[in-house]
Amino acid sequence: MGFFLAGLLLLIFQHDPTREEIIARARTYGMVFREEVVPFAPASRDNAPPAQEMKQQPAGPQQAAPADTHGEILVTIPAGAGLEDIAALLEKKGVAAAAAFEAEVHRQGVEQKLKAGSYYLPAGDIKEIIRRLTS
């Protein structure tokens, strides 16, 4: 009889989560809104930067990895790249040491939040690099 009453009370006084509570819980699982995802070019386009990033680049001859006026380096993270792939790419471009980048990503627990796309990244500032790759 007690279980029946307890169950009945739970059904009557059950509260539905608010939209904010649902969004907060989804973010803890690494989910994002469609508008927050960085689009990437298909593999057939030879890792060309997305159209949005192309508008921001100056016109004229392009180098393989041009640096902008703020000393940042253009890096394109391909779709499906894992942490080790991204770390190796950053080291190859001279942005960050692979081991230091991997260690900081593990420390922050953002292994699954790294996003594909083209980014201008500051050389040596690992925390800022991670912030840009996960936002």
CB atoms within 10 A of CB 98: 16
Residue type, 16: D
Statement: the pTM of the whole predicted model exceeds 0.75: no
Residues in Cβ contact with 123 at an 8 Å cutoff, skipping those fewer than 6 apart: 71, 72, 73, 94, 95, 96
pLDDT tens for the chain, residues 1 to 135 = 888 888 888 778 777 778 888 888 887 877 777 666 655 545 444 444 444 444 444 443 333 444 444 678 888 888 888 889 999 999 999 999 999 999 999 999 988 888 888 888 888 889 999 999 988
30 backbone φψ class: left, alpha, beta (φ>0; ψ -120 to 50):
left
| All domains in the chain, ordered by first residue | 2-134 (3.30.1490.480)
Q: What is the pLDDT of residue 130?
A: 92
